[in-house]
Chains A and B, each alone.
Chain A
Amino acid sequence: AQTVTQSQPEMSVQEAETVTLSCTYDTSESDYYLFWYKQPPSRQMILVIRQEAYKQQNATENRFSVNFQKAAKSFSLKISDSQLGDAAMYFCATYPQGTYKYIFGTGTRLKVLA
C-alpha cells in the first residue's frame, strides 16, 4: 500500500527564519510524483512545489525548496525567509504514475511568529 507520513503535527518558525517540514513515503511504483500543498485558513488547497521522482535535481520555487532523498523515501520542504502568509497546513502527497490516485499525508500545521 502507498503511504505518506508527516511526523510533525505542528511546527513554529520566527518570521524571516528558515523551517523544514518532514515527509516520508512508501510506494512500490518506480515512477511517481511528489507534492507539497499549502492549505491556509480559507481551506483552498494550493500547490507549492512538485517533484518528479526520476529527476535527481531538487525542485525549487522561490523561497520553497525540497530535499528529495529517493533511496530513503524522504521528501522534506524547506521554507526560507518565512513570512506571516506562510502560516497554514502543509500536506505532502504522492501520485504513483498510472494509479490516478493521490495519497496525502495527515498534514503539518505551520505557525509563523512575528
Chain B
Amino acid sequence: DAGITQSPRYKITETGRQVTLMCHQTWSHSYMFWYRQDLGHGLRLIYYSAAADITDKGEVPDGYVVSRSKTENFPLTLESATRSQTSVYFCASGSPETQYFGPGTRLLVL
C-alpha cells in the first residue's frame, strides 16, 4: 500500500539499550522528518532529511542518530535510551510545505 509506515508501533525497552525506529514511505518524497510528541510540548522536530545521505538537526537532536541511505527509509536510532526519551515518535515525509505523517511509535523506556 502507498503511504508512510512506522515500525514498531509500540516498543518497551530499558535504559541504556539501543533502539531503532523505522520509517518507510512509498511516495518517493525527498524530505523526511522525525518528531517526538510529549504532553505539554506538541510536536518537536528531532531530525530531518532533504534527500538520501543529507540529514540535519532539528530542535531536539541530542541522544538520537539518523541515517538515510535510501530515499524511502529514514530510521531513527536511540544509541543509549534514557527515560526522558519515553515519548510518541512520528515520522513524516513530503515537502517542507506539506508533510504527511505516519501513525506513530509509542516508546516506553524503563
- Taking beta carbons and an 8 Å cutoff, which residues of A are in contact with B? 4, 33, 37, 42-47, 50, 91, 93, 95, 97, 99-102, 104-107
Q: Within residues 36 to 81 of chain B, which ones have a CB less than 8 A from any CB in chain A?
A: 40-45, 48, 50, 56, 58-59
B88 in contact (CB, < 8 A) = yes
* In contact, A100 and B56 (Cβ under 8 angstroms): yes
User: Interface 1/0s, chain B 75-95, versus A by CB < 8 A?
Assistant: 000000000000010101000
* In contact, B98 and A101 (Cβ under 8 angstroms): no
How many chain B residues sit at the interface, stated as a range, is 20 to 34
How many angstroms between the C-alpha atoms of A22 and B99 in the bound complex? Answer: 22
A sample of 4 more A-B contacts (CB under 8 A), given A42-B103, A50-B97, A100-B50, is A43-B103, A43-B104, A46-B101, A106-B42
Which residue in A33, A43, A91, A101 is a CB contact (below 8 Å) of B59?
A101
Q: Which residues on the B side are within 8 Å of A4 (C-beta)?
A: 42
Instruction: Name A's interface SS.
Output: loop
- Taking beta carbons and an 8 Å cutoff, which residues of B are in contact with A? 31, 33, 35, 40-45, 48, 50, 56, 58-59, 88, 90, 92, 96-101, 103-104
Q: Which residues on the A side are within 8 Å of B58 (C-beta)?
A: 101
Q: Which residues on the A side are within 8 Å of B101 (C-beta)?
A: 37, 44-46
Q: List 12 A-B contacts (CB under 8 A).
A: A37-B101, A44-B103, A45-B90, A45-B101, A47-B98, A47-B100, A50-B98, A95-B96, A97-B96, A100-B31, A100-B48, A100-B96
How many angstroms between the C-alpha atoms of A50 and B96 in the bound complex? Answer: 12
